[in-house]
């Protein structure tokens, strides 16, 4: 009976049990979802990088004899009003849709990091100004902002990227600001100050890494959200316009035939949903993995 | 007004206990526990495995109007035992007992309905943290009324009146006004009293209190213990769960000492405290710091070797000499509350800390001691006054010029875990604290040296703070403070969160390092026992002001200021009456080598 029993480290719970029991548990329970998400993500990436590997059909080839054909072996997703193969169009639209989504998420996050950092680390007056700006922007409807942007620049993929980025950035900026403020007020930053480390080094070594860490997964999840947003804009005619196979544009084009050829809207819609789910699932697993790494 | 035995108010619950109590022998025990085993089935995928035992073969007896204290450190199973006795052992618990009898009713196998009729009405339960245990959105009055209503007591109007009566009885000032307030508007002591009021609302025969005073300041603790004493005198039986022997000494008639789920020793309080037999009990008692333990070791844990370290420090120590190393004069700090009022947190605090000395700052929560520490550390600028470190101005100068002097001032914070960057392992934490310009090879060597210095194995270097025990974390924190080879270490409630035997080891380490390295400590604590064990001089703070200052002997033996007298009276009564000054550890091998 040594004194160690009194002050034993929590290793039993954290180090021993975690890998064996809990990690195995999460691994097994999460595996089917994770595997499925990874497979789909790989398919999406393949479609974006090399659409030719998935389909040899030209997405623009007209075949008026087979217009509005239901899904079949020849046309797995059916054809549209001009007989274009929907599967080929969805595959070829991946690059643009994914690109717009990724671009919007990246621009949004970059904007958010800058705004959030300034709102928490800048001089006092700037902090106040930027914080209020973020709040105003947060309260402003995203769609209205997008409309404004489109009205100024005209509908295009670039407009779509920026409209979505500006619309979603304030939410993330607020999150980053909160994270930074929390890290800034933490006891470990105080300890570093007391050790005499310069403030710049403290921000670089403690504040930013701890604040940004949880955002890695947020970024992955925001891709899904951005694609949904971008597709909505395209659907409303505020982005890439219809002959383009961008998914939102496909939805828009199929809207007219929703009664006679529902696959024209259902299939692109499902694809958008699947991508959003895949991005969210992967983001979530990333977050769990990071949290485990912290232990 | 004798509220607790007031027979005019019917206290019998509407839903009478399901099991009709057999006639009880008035002199027999109210509560009998024998052969109690509690285990927990691992949750999740581990289900199906055998339960992990937490309480093993515990037997207890409690008579009417007596107080039995269950003493032990965290993880000893004392709280699980207490919760089992109110039918709330927790999820996944497997309870077995030969006998679990309360007032003639067998408790094993009771259904939730039967438990509910017992709980609150006949067995009261007081939890440690009143802020967590009370609903933040409801007034404390309605909390008490609900305790009454759930057992069908009285009408809405009479319950409201009774709630005020109860608050008055437990010594809450202005009970009628307080009853309408929410927990957040009450002080810690008032909240704890309100919680006790709701636990005793139905005059239970048995009151189980789990660490009822741990979160309270000493003067408030004394009041709450006084309240328990009154309840006991009126015939309530008390089962007191505590890790704090000085609390136990004031109240308990009998003591059961638990370790690792087993009762290692049990008997009348005087015998357990005066002539403990079991080595663990002895060690526990010896670990309690106080004036009588000065210059003595509190634990028998091995002390580190400082061979490598002392060589480097020898020259420093030699030419260090004496004199004042840290000086504060007229420190003042105001904070603006959200409502625009100015709150003076620290008002005119001055002190001088001599080389190799330890200055204690004592005060209750809100007395300004932590703000003073922050100003000394240069983390908060004083509004007036100045701090001088080794003769140089340390406050009111630009951070750039202060940075160079910071190495002379180390800090050990209250909660070590939050003071470490969660992404860093111990090696990186310590390496980061080393002086600038130390080479990589040298840094690795110094980290090992630092760990040795605080008696931690070298393997700790690659672990993350989260995987360390509380005592190990605090040692890492001390090692970090030592890394820059400081002259002064500011310790802000550095041992307050530790179990008494771990605290004893850390205090021993601090005393040892002070002697070996010629350090000076500014030691901030609310614990007078720790202060009187460790400090040379003491500063007593109240409401931001220094009310009294002097040598530790002067303050503890000849206190002048009424507040100091109250503070010391509240704490010392227990130490003198019960714990006394026996040498529980073998004196020969525990002499402080540095004394």
How many Cβ atoms from other residues are within 10 Å of residue B213's Cβ? 25
Q: Is residue B87 part of a domain?
A: no
CA dist B165 to B6, B118, B171, B177, Å? 12, 23, 10, 12
pLDDT of B19 reads 43
pLDDT at B594 over 60: no
User: Which range, of A16-25, A63-72, B194-203, B321-330, averages the lowest pLDDT?
Assistant: A16-25
Q: Predicted confidence band at B489 (pLDDT cuts at 50, 70, 90)?
A: very high
| A187 close to B (CB below 8 A) | yes
pLDDT of A7 reads 60
CATH of the domain at B427: 3.40.50.300
Looking at B294-385, list the stretches that DSSP marks H as alpha helix, in order from N- to C-terminal side: 307-320, 369-376
Query: Which tens digit of pLDDT belongs to each residue from A94-105?
Result: 888 888 888 888
pLDDT of B573 reads 53
> DSSP states of A36-49 as a string?
HHHHHHHHHHHHHH
Q: Are A164 and A233 in contact (CB under 8 A)?
A: yes
What would the two tokens of residue B318 be?
Answer: 């030699």
C-alpha span between B72 and B324 (Å, rounded): 42
pLDDT of B426 reads 92
CA dist B66 to A147, B251, B576, Å? 77, 9, 22
The answer to whether B413 contacts A191, with C-beta atoms less than 8 Å apart, is yes
Instruction: Mark residue A104 as left, alpha or beta (left: phi above 0; alpha: psi -120 to 50; beta: remaining).
Output: alpha
The answer to whether B419 contacts A188, with C-beta atoms less than 8 Å apart, is yes
Q: Predicted confidence band at B536 (pLDDT cuts at 50, 70, 90)?
A: very high
Among A9, A195, A295, the residue with its CB nearest the CB of B469 is A9
Q: Are B123 and B206 in contact (CB under 8 A)?
A: yes
C-alpha span between B470 and B451 (Å, rounded): 16
pLDDT of B318 reads 47
pLDDT of B476 reads 93
C-alpha span between A51 and A53 (Å, rounded): 5
C-alpha R_g of chain A: 24
Contacts B379 to A, Cβ<8 Å: 190, 193-194
pLDDT mean over B37-65: 79
Among B421, B471, B501, the residue with its CB nearest the CB of A210 is B421
pLDDT of B69 reads 92
pLDDT of A2 reads 40
pLDDT at B178 over 50: yes
Among B300, B379, B501, the residue with its CB nearest the CB of A190 is B379
pLDDT of A199 reads 85
Q: Predicted confidence band at B592 (pLDDT cuts at 50, 70, 90)?
A: very low
| A201 close to B (CB below 8 A) | no
pLDDT of B522 reads 94
What would the two tokens of residue B377 be?
Answer: 């550390």
CA closest to B466 among chain A residues: A295
Query: Which tens digit of pLDDT belongs to each residue from B345-381?
Result: 899 899 999 888 999 999 887 788 888 999 999 888 8
pLDDT of B567 reads 83
Q: Is residue B436 part of a domain?
A: yes
Q: Is residue B23 part of a domain?
A: no
pLDDT at B394 over 60: yes
Helices and strands in chain B, H and E counts:
21, 21
| A152 close to B (CB below 8 A) | no
C-alpha span between B251 and B240 (Å, rounded): 9
Contacts B259 to A, Cβ<8 Å: 1, 5
pLDDT at B584 over 50: no
pLDDT of A26 reads 57
Q: Is residue B385 part of a domain?
A: yes
Among B45, B299, B419, the residue with its CB nearest the CB of A191 is B419
Q: How far is A172 from chain B (nearest CA, A)?
A: 22
Q: How many domains does chain B have?
A: 1
Query: Which tens digit of pLDDT belongs to each residue from B427-445?
Result: 999 998 988 888 888 888 8
Q: Are B143 and B135 in contact (CB under 8 A)?
A: yes
Q: Predicted confidence band at B572 (pLDDT cuts at 50, 70, 90)?
A: low
Average pLDDT, chain B: 81
B466 class by beta-carbon count within 10 Å (0-12 exposed, 13-18 middle, 19+ buried): middle
Topology of domain A46-56+78-294, CATH: MetI-like fold (1.10.3720)
Q: How far is A183 from chain B (nearest CA, A)?
A: 9
The β-bridge relationship of strands B342-354 and B520-525 is: unpaired
What would the two tokens of residue A101 be?
Answer: 């989504």
Domain range annotation of chain A = 46-56+78-294
Contacts B75 to A, Cβ<8 Å: 6, 8
Contacts B464 to A, Cβ<8 Å: 294-295
What would the two tokens of residue B75 be?
Answer: 């993880």
What would the two tokens of residue A279 be?
Answer: 């991005």
Instruction: Mark residue B399 as left, alpha or beta (left: phi above 0; alpha: psi -120 to 50; beta: remaining).
Output: alpha
pLDDT of B306 reads 64
Strand residue runs (E) in B63-113? 67-71, 93-96, 99-102, 105-106
Query: Which tens digit of pLDDT belongs to each residue from B548-566?
Result: 999 988 888 888 888 888 8
pLDDT of A23 reads 58
pLDDT at B122 over 80: yes
The answer to whether B480 contacts A191, with C-beta atoms less than 8 Å apart, is yes
Q: How far is A20 from chain B (nearest CA, A)?
A: 10
C-alpha R_g of chain B: 26
pLDDT of B456 reads 87
pLDDT of B27 reads 60
C-alpha span between B508 and B295 (Å, rounded): 10
Higher-scoring residue by pLDDT: B277, B343: B277
Q: How far is B477 from chain A (nearest CA, A)?
A: 10
CA closest to A1 among chain B residues: B280
Q: Predicted confidence band at B227 (pLDDT cuts at 50, 70, 90)?
A: confident
| A216 close to B (CB below 8 A) | no
| A153 close to B (CB below 8 A) | no
Looking at B413-465, list the stretches that DSSP marks H as alpha helix, in order from N- to C-terminal side: 426-433, 440-453
The answer to whether A295 contacts B403, with C-beta atoms less than 8 Å apart, is no
Among B45, B421, B499, the residue with its CB nearest the CB of A6 is B499
| A5 close to B (CB below 8 A) | yes
C-alpha span between B172 and B188 (Å, rounded): 11
Find where tokens 């002591």 sit.
B189
pLDDT at B320 over 70: no
pLDDT of A82 reads 75
pLDDT at B50 over 60: yes
pLDDT mean over B332-350: 84
pLDDT at B246 over 70: yes
The answer to whether A5 contacts B468, with C-beta atoms less than 8 Å apart, is no
Q: Which residues contact A73 (CB under 8 A, 6 or more apart)?
A: none
Q: Is residue B353 part of a domain?
A: yes
Q: Predicted confidence band at B168 (pLDDT cuts at 50, 70, 90)?
A: confident
Contacts B422 to A, Cβ<8 Å: 188, 210, 294
The answer to whether A209 contacts B280, with C-beta atoms less than 8 Å apart, is no
The answer to whether B502 contacts A206, with C-beta atoms less than 8 Å apart, is no
pLDDT at B382 over 60: yes
Helices and strands in chain A, H and E counts:
12, 0
Q: A with B: how many residue pairs have Cβ under 8 Å apart?
A: 107
Contacts A193 to B, Cβ<8 Å: 378-379
pLDDT of B309 reads 56
| A203 close to B (CB below 8 A) | no
C-alpha span between A176 and A182 (Å, rounded): 10
Q: Is residue B493 part of a domain?
A: yes
Range(s) of the domain holding residue B542: 307-590
Q: What are phi and psi of B576, to 5 degrees?
A: -70, -45
Q: How far is A16 from chain B (nearest CA, A)?
A: 10
Contacts A11 to B, Cβ<8 Å: 467
- The answer to pTM > 0.80 is no
> What percent of chain B stands above pLDDT 70?
86
The answer to whether B280 contacts A186, with C-beta atoms less than 8 Å apart, is no
The answer to whether A210 contacts B422, with C-beta atoms less than 8 Å apart, is yes
Q: Are B405 and B466 in contact (CB under 8 A)?
A: no
Residues of chain A short of pLDDT 50, as ranges, are: 1-6, 11-19, 295
Contacts A195 to B, Cβ<8 Å: 406-407, 432-433, 480, 484
Q: Is residue B441 part of a domain?
A: yes
pLDDT of B358 reads 93
C-alpha span between A83 and A264 (Å, rounded): 12
Among B42, B399, B418, the residue with its CB nearest the CB of A186 is B418
The answer to whether A191 contacts B470, with C-beta atoms less than 8 Å apart, is no
Query: Which tens digit of pLDDT belongs to each residue from B127-163?
Result: 776 667 778 788 888 888 888 888 888 888 888 888 9
Q: Predicted confidence band at B93 (pLDDT cuts at 50, 70, 90)?
A: confident
């Amino acid at each position: 009976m040594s004194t160690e029993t009194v002050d034993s480290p929590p290793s039993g719970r954290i180090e021993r049990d975690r890998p064996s029991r809990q990690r195995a548990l999460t691994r097994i329970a999460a595996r089917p979802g994770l595997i499925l998400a990874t497979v789909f993500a790989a398919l999406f990436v393949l479609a974006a990088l090399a659409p030719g590997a998935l389909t040899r059909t030209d997405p623009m080839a007209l075949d008026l004899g087979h217009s509005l054909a239901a899904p079949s072996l020849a046309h797995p997703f059916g054809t549209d009003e001009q007989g274009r193969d929907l599967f080929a169009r969805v595959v070829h639209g991946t690059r643009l849709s994914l690109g717009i989504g990724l671009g919007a998420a990246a621009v949004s996050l970059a904007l958010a990091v800058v705004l959030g950092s300034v709102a928490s680390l800048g001089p006092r007056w700037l902090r106040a100004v930027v914080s209020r700006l973020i709040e105003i922007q947060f309260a402003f409807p995203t769609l209205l902002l997008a409309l404004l942007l489109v009205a100024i620049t005209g509908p295009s993929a670039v407009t779509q990227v920026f409209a979505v980025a500006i619309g979603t950035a304030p939410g993330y900026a607020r999150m980053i600001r909160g994270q930074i403020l929390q890290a800034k007020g933490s006891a470990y930053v105080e300890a570093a100050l007391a050790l005499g480390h310069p403030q710049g080094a403290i921000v670089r070594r403690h504040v930013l890494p701890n604040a940004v860490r949880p955002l890695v997964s947020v970024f992955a999840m925001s891709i899904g959200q951005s694609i949904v947003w971008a597709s909505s804009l395209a659907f409303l005619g505020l982005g890439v316009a219809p002959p383009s196979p961008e998914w939102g544009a496909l939805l828009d084009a199929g809207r007219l035939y929703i009664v006679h050829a529902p696959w024209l809207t259902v299939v692109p819609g499902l694809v958008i949903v699947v991508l959003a789910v895949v991005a969210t699932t992967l983001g979530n697993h990333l977050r769990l993995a990071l949290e485990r790494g912290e232990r | 007004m004798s509220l607790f035995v007031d027979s005019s108010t019917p206290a019998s619950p509407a839903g009478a206990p399901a099991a009709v109590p057999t006639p009880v022998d008035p002199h027999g025990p109210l509560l009998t526990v024998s052969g109690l085993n509690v285990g927990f089935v691992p949750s999740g995928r581990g289900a199906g495995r055998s339960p992990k035992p937490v309480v093993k073969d515990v037997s207890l007896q409690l008579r009417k109007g007596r107080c039995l204290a269950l003493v032990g450190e965290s993880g000893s199973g004392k709280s699980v035992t207490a919760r089992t006795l109110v039918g709330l052992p927790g999820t996944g618990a497997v309870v077995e007992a030969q006998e679990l009898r309360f007032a003639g009713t067998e408790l094993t196998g009771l259904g939730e309905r039967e438990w509910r009729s017992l709980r609150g009405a006949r067995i009261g339960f007081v939890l440690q943290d009143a802020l967590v245990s009370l609903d933040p959105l409801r007034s404390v009055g309605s909390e008490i009324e609900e305790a009454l209503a759930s057992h069908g007591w009285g009408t809405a109007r009479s319950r409201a009146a009774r709630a005020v009566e109860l608050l008055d009885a437990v010594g809450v000032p202005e009970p009628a006004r307080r009853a309408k307030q929410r927990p957040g508007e009450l002080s810690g002591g008032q909240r704890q009293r309100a919680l006790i009021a709701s636990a005793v609302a139905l005059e239970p025969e048995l009151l189980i209190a789990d660490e009822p005073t741990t979160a309270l300041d000493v003067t408030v603790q004394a009041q709450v213990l006084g309240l328990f004493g009154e309840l006991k005198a009126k015939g309530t039986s008390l089962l007191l769960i505590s890790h704090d022997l000085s609390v136990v000494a004031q109240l308990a008639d009998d003591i059961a000492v638990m370790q690792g789920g087993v009762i290692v020793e049990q008997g009348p309080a005087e015998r357990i405290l005066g002539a403990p037999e079991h080595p663990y009990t002895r060690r526990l008692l010896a670990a309690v710091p106080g004036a009588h333990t000065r210059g003595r070791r509190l634990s028998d844990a091995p002390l580190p070797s400082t061979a490598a370290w002392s060589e480097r420090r020898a020259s420093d120590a030699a030419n260090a000499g004496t004199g004042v190393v840290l000086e504060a004069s007229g420190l003042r700090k105001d904070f603006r509350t959200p409502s625009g009022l100015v709150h003076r947190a620290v008002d005119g605090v001055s002190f001088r800390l001599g080389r190799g000395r330890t200055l204690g700052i004592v005060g209750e929560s809100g007395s300004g001691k932590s703000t003073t520490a922050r100003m000394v550390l240069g983390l908060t600028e004083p509004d007036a006054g100045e701090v001088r470190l080794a003769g140089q101005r340390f406050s009111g100068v630009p951070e750039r010029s202060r940075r160079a002097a910071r190495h002379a001032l180390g800090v050990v914070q209250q909660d070590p875990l939050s003071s470490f960057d969660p992404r860093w392992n111990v090696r990186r934490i310590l390496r980061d604290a080393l002086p600038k310009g130390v080479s990589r090879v040298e840094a690795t060597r110094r980290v090992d040296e630092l760990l040795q210095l605080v008696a931690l194995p070298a393997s700790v270097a690659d672990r993350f703070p989260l995987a360390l025990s509380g005592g190990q974390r605090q040692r890492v924190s001390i090692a970090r403070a030592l890394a820059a080879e400081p002259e002064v270490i500011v310790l802000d409630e550095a041992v307050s969160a530790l179990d008494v035997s771990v605290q004893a080891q850390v205090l021993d380490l601090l005393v040892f390092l002070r002697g070996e390295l010629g350090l000076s400590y500014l030691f901030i604590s609310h614990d007078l026992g720790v202060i009187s064990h460790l400090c040379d001089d003491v500063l007593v703070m109240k409401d931001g002001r220094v009310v009294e200052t002097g040598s530790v002997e002067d303050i503890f033996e000849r206190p002048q200021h009424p507040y100091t007298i109250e503070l010391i009276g509240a704490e010392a009564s227990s130490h003198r009456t019960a714990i006394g000054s026996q040498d529980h550890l073998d004196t020969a091998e525990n002499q402080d080598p540095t004394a």
